[in-house]
Amino acid sequence: MKNAKVFTNAKWIIICKIIQSVLQLLVGMLSARYLGPSNYGLINYAASITAFAMPIMKMGLDATLVFELVKNPKQEGRVLGTSLGMNVISSFLSIIGVSFFAYLANPDDRQTLIVCVVYSLSVFFAALEMIEYWFQYKLLSKYSSVVMLISYVAVSAYKIFLLVTQKNVVWFAFSHSIEYGLIAFCLILLYFRKSGDKLVFSFSLAKDMFYKSKYYIFASILVVVFQNIDKLLLTELSGTESTGYYSAAVTCTVITQFVFTAIIDSFRPEILKQKKEDEKEYETSLISLYSIVIYLSLLQSVAFTVFAKPIVYVMYGKDFMPTVKILQILIWYFTFSIIGTVRNVWILAEDKQKYLWGINLMGAAFSAILNFILIPHFDAIGAAIASFFTQLFTNFILGFILRPLRPNNRLILKSLNPKIFFANISSIVKMLLKRQ
């Protein structure tokens, strides 16, 4: 009964993510066409700056909150109230930090400053959205998923309204805040209906929770650097138009991401279970998973390379044609990105999370150096090349350099046998059917 409840909870999360991805793709395509490369790049620049503020605002509590709730089941209101209070305080500091950076980086560009400040307001509402973790803890993600879905639809309708009424880019910057705000407001109301506990702030608990979670802050910042340094440097070194072309290519590469996420999510519980029960089956499942995602991603990369021009034209129109060459390079980084996702499953199963610090640090440094070198010479193409080699280095080459990761790389090499792919492709269907 418990397993059924867990799967039902996960199913709602996955369904919500799929619908969210579809909505974001469709509305994003229309928004990009309307805004054009320069303004679309400006929005993504603001998003990249704000992304740096998110882990600072969360203070690592997103990694430890569920654990604290499990540890203190009779003090849910105190744990949640303290977490929300800490996040709200840090959100204001984060917004000030984003605004200050935007001003220093663009002192003479009033529009860029306004868009960045407006976009950063979403950090405050994201702080309130932390209450979602209570729903995950209670296995009530059905409710939070419905709330999120309603919010996605509302924000999509808002963006369509902006398109119809031909509003400027500043109005689009508000959409992120509206999304987080709707989710936070509805989840808080649902919490009081489902729980009834008062939200209480405790200074002593805040001190204790910060001590436990502080180690996650730096690690989270490194991940953000890893994921956003390309767009940030591209804007500073080449301008928002180049960022617009590059961001469009990035969006194209993640069109099918939810498929790979579903495959990995289906395998993960079995792999973690097998690690405890049967080492041989555990390795076999990991090899199978690697084989499936690697070969499927390679097939996707070939298809996107060949059909890049019609894909870009259909999605974004003729104004985004410079995106074609960027996409033909960037799409190949997806294989190594998905290898990294599976590797993290292996790291969790092997209890080697401490190595993520070093991996993320070296990845962030490698990305920053490559982008600094390549962008001035090759513009957005340089950023694409840098992203590809960063993923290759971080998720594959490092596995040979760092001794603790070498066993995982041996599994990757074994998975490259095409016979394994064809023999195990049916595992996806079987795994999904097993959970119905």
**In the listed set 176, 201, 226, which residue is the last one of a domain according to the structure?**
201
Residue pair 169/110 in contact by the 8 Å Cβ criterion:
no
List, for the chain, all residue ranges whose pLDDT scores fall below the cut of 50.
1-7, 431-432, 435-436
The amino acid at 1: M
pLDDT (0 to 100) of residue 45? 94
The amino acid at 186: C
- 196 and 245 together in one domain: no
If one counts the domains in the chain, the total is 2
In tens, the pLDDT along 55-99 reads 888 887 776 676 677 777 778 888 888 988 999 999 999 999 999
pLDDT (0 to 100) of residue 89? 92
- 39 and 149 together in one domain: yes
**In the listed set 201, 231, 259, which residue is the last one of a domain according to the structure?**
201
pLDDT (0 to 100) of residue 33? 93
- 76 and 220 together in one domain: no
Q: Say how many C-beta atoms besides its own lie within 10 A of residue 254's C-beta.
A: 14
Query: Which residues span the domain enclosing 414?
Result: 215-436
pLDDT (0 to 100) of residue 435? 47
pTM value surpassing 0.85? no
3-state secondary structure of 87: helix
In a domain, 339, yes or no: yes
- 189 and 294 together in one domain: no
Helix H segments across 350-425? 355-392, 398-401, 406-415, 418-424
- 140 and 254 together in one domain: no
SS3 percent helix, strand, coil of the chain, rounded to 5, is: 90, 0, 10
In a domain, 209, yes or no: no
In a domain, 210, yes or no: no
In a domain, 68, yes or no: yes
pLDDT (0 to 100) of residue 15? 72
CA 301/CA 256 separation, integer angstroms: 11
pLDDT (0 to 100) of residue 428? 52
pLDDT (0 to 100) of residue 135? 78
pLDDT (0 to 100) of residue 427? 53
Q: Which two structure tokens, joined as six digits, stand for 411?
A: 């599994």
CA 407/CA 350 separation, integer angstroms: 11
In a domain, 422, yes or no: yes
